[in-house]
Amino acid sequence: MKMKRIDTINVIPFIDIMLVLLVMVLTTATFIKTGVIPVDLPNAKGTATEHKPSEMKLTIKKDGTLWIDEKTQVSLDQFEQKVTEGGKEMTVVLYSDKDAAFQNFVGVMDVLKRLGHEQLYIVTDKQK
């Protein structure tokens, strides 16, 4: 009995393995928001229209204080003004301490409802 010589390489198992590896990499990859590169902008006499922020990060701390983008402490009235300036297309991302008074959360929701603002995300931790 004579053995038949194999002239080709079967690549189908190789492709199967590569597709499985690709799926594993894509499902486990974390997408990290890159920092902003500092740039000195040139001066111009004409003014462009102001770009409204597409996202506002609002934090309610344990003591009930409101913070925008973790750097500016605001009152509820100032928050309402910022939301009005941002427009209805702006997304509000709400981080609330679990020990903060529920009244603070209700106050924020009341402002958003009064303004007819529907772009709201509430950030939570996944339960273990």
Residue 21 has a pLDDT of: 92
Mean per-residue pLDDT for 64-87? 86
Is the confidence at residue 111, as pLDDT, over 80?
A: yes
* pTM for the model: 0.54
Q: Which amino acid is at 115?
A: L
Residue 45 has a pLDDT of: 64
Encode pLDDT of 15-73 as tens digits. Answer: 999 999 998 888 777 655 555 556 555 666 665 555 555 788 888 888 888 888 878 88
Residue 37 has a pLDDT of: 54
